[in-house]
Structure 1
Amino acid sequence: MSANSQGRITSWHGSPSKPTFTPPPGAVDAHCHVFGPQASFPFSPKAKYHPEDAGPDMLFALRDHLGFDRNVIVQASCHGTDNSATLDAIAKSNGKARGVAVVDPDISDAELAALHDGGIRAVRFNFLKRLVDNAPKDKFLEVAGRLPAGWHVVIYFEADILDEMRAFIDAIPVRVVIDHMGRPDVSQGPDGPEMKAFRTLLESRPDIWFKATCPDRLDESGDPWNDFATAVRPLVEDYQDRVIWGTDWPHPNMQSNIPDDGHLVDMIPRIAVTEALQRKLLVDNPVRLYWPETL
């Protein structure tokens, strides 16, 4: 665990290894975050964790080190609904980043349009009670109905509330992307009850996508995360046009189990075993979501 005398935590590896897997040209790290820098972008008063700075310079250096070309920056919960840090990172990316915002349910259409102009292409609804307070489903649905054209909704929840989430997900009027597959128990294997329940969700709508991400969060067996590879590979193969991947750097709240980002990248060929699958996972699919104007 890493924390300084002011209680700021570090959840990222100080010197991640160089992966043995080389991502294809144009590869996108489609789930990552920035923290601060706090001098310019203070944390929300409601923040449940207070990390050290992990700003755009660090993120883009990691992108280059790992062999990626672009990033999708997801608003970190510690910044609440002030997306300034995410927008700042996008602005400094030279066109190589897009973003996912967290918004107040009362956001105006003009504010949504401004987020679009800043590179945002989705909103995230977080249902992890340890990270956010009281997620208002009715108001979230109202926001989802007002999103700029082409945007989607990202949802973060845990497997034990999937059943109670179904009516809400069914009512979302735009494409949906599920963070970290709804955090199933991967030790149950590809045919375990939680993975089967997630497959049932995917079968319910052709426009539900997912992120095949976070073996470090989902696989208690530890690096090299064999349970994750076994459970997730069939999912990637069966829904290969609806899956994206990301590092989750700088790994919020993982200060007690910090992953090596190079090892995370080396998971990719274990869950997407052909070059064609790897290109869909890392290039084609995220570009369809976040840079559709380039197609």
Structure 2
Amino acid sequence: MALIPDNTRPLDGPKPALATPPGATDCHIHLYLPGYSAQPGGPQIPELATVEHYRRVQERLGLERVVVTQPNAYQFDNGALLESLKILGPSVARGVAVVSPDTPVQKLEEWHAAGVRGARIMNLPGGAVTTEQMHAVERLIRPFGWHLMVQFNGRYIDDYVADLKRIECDYIIDHIGKFMPPVGADDPRVDAIVELLDRGNAWLKICAGYEASQLGGPDYEDVGPIAKRLVAHAPERTLWGSNWPHVGVPRSEYPDDAEQLDVLLAWASEPFRQKILVENPARLYGF
């Protein structure tokens, strides 16, 4: 087993301008623990990102609850995710696992007891399960009340709309639709997300604008208009996530963690922020 270097990312810094309400939730992080290796098909792990590391970031940002998402690096090996949930504890942590169409029901029962509440669908390089297997996975997780977390390049949403409309459980459109590169807020492909949100079982996650933005932070002026339109349209089904530890970008483009939270000051009103950070995660994840 290859030795993975310890974390060198900045964990501390100035606090965000946004004063978070009690129960504030980070709905998207990844953790990389000692003793777990990258699996074939996924990217390599450049350095560790442990529960202890994240707790420092969590304290800096004023967050209390967290949703740990299975990284692409681990593919179908959810071991580090389950260990992370055990360390964090059921009162403050939930998980999104990678579920294959042939995952035994007994495994799903065990994962549910550990705090898993969703299955990851990734139609971008490195994803373990794509939309081709999405409906088979949905049939497995639906009895547990889990949701799907779906990520794709929003520029090609027309390729996915029909399959998304067939989903019967709740599902998250991840990373603000992840339009790469961004489109105008009035683009028909943003209209398609609005239509999906209006069907009642789709959620939007504000997360990692830096991965799609060509203008960069702290304002992300090319991604912000999309986010503002979608948040205003469905604040009762919008979530926020930091995407820590930001493994999708090189260190030279590493974003400031407080900046990732402070985008909500411009993209969501104070009543909406209460929903996004506290009420919506509590409802979807059962906090």
Fold shared by both chains (TM-score > 0.5): yes
In structure 2, which of residues 2, 12, 32 is the aligned counterpart of residue 35 of structure 1? 32
In structure 1, which of residues 229, 232, 237 is the aligned counterpart of residue 224 of structure 2? 229
Contact 1:17 1:263 in 2 (8 A): no
In structure 1, which of residues 70, 73, 89 is the aligned counterpart of residue 68 of structure 2? 73
Residue 64 of structure 1, CA deviation: 1.1
Residue 190 of structure 1, CA deviation: 2.0
CA separation of 1:12 and 1:253: change in aligned 2, threshold 3 A = farther
Q: Residue 3 of structure 1 corresponds to which residue in structure 2?
A: none
In structure 1, which of residues 278, 283, 290 is the aligned counterpart of residue 285 of structure 2? 290
**Quick check: 1:216 aligned with 2:210?**
yes
CA separation of 1:7 and 1:55: change in aligned 2, threshold 3 A = closer
- Matches of 1:119 and 1:237, distance apart in 2: 30
- Matches of 1:49 and 1:182, distance apart in 2: 25
In structure 2, which of residues 84, 95, 100 is the aligned counterpart of residue 99 of structure 1? 95
Residue 188 of structure 1, CA deviation: 3.5
Q: Residue 85 of structure 1 corresponds to which residue in structure 2?
A: 80
Residue 93 of structure 1, CA deviation: 1.1
CA separation of 1:200 and 1:116: change in aligned 2, threshold 3 A = same
CA separation of 1:222 and 1:172: change in aligned 2, threshold 3 A = same
In structure 2, which of residues 185, 195, 199 is the aligned counterpart of residue 200 of structure 1? 195
Which whole-Å deviations, capped at 9, do the CAs of 1:94-138 have from their partners, x for residues lacking one? Answer: 33110000122210111111110110001011110x21367362x
Q: Residue 183 of structure 2 corresponds to which residue in structure 1?
A: 188
Q: How does 1:119-268 map to 2 (within 5 A)?
A: 119-128=115-124, 130-132=125-127, 135=130, 137=132, 139-147=133-141, 148-184=143-179, 187-203=182-198, 205-224=199-218, 225-255=220-250, 256-268=252-264
The gaps in structure 1 that reach 5 residues or longer are 1-5
The gaps in structure 2 that reach 5 residues or longer are none
Residue type at the aligned position of 2:230: L
Residue type at the aligned position of 1:99: G
**Quick check: 1:114 aligned with 2:85?**
no
- Matches of 2:150 and 2:207, distance apart in 1: 14
Stretch deviating more after TM superposition (244-253 or 88-97): 88-97
Contact 1:186 1:228 in 2 (8 A): no
Residue 61 of structure 1, CA deviation: 1.7
Residue 18 of structure 1, CA deviation: 1.6
Number of aligned residue pairs: give it.
Answer: 281
RMSD: 2.2
Residue 12 of structure 1, CA deviation: 4.6
Residue type at the aligned position of 1:63: Q
Contact 2:23 2:65 in 1 (8 A): yes
- Matches of 1:30 and 1:287, distance apart in 2: 10
- Matches of 2:138 and 2:102, distance apart in 1: 12
TM normalised by structure 2 equals 0.90
Contact 2:101 2:140 in 1 (8 A): no
| Percent of aligned pairs with the same amino acid | 30
Stretch deviating more after TM superposition (177-186 or 244-253): 177-186
Asked which structure has the greater RCO (Cα within 8 Å, sep 6+), the reply is: 1
CA separation of 1:242 and 1:11: change in aligned 2, threshold 3 A = farther
In structure 2, which of residues 21, 24, 29 is the aligned counterpart of residue 24 of structure 1? 21
- Matches of 2:193 and 2:268, distance apart in 1: 19
CA separation of 1:191 and 1:197: change in aligned 2, threshold 3 A = same
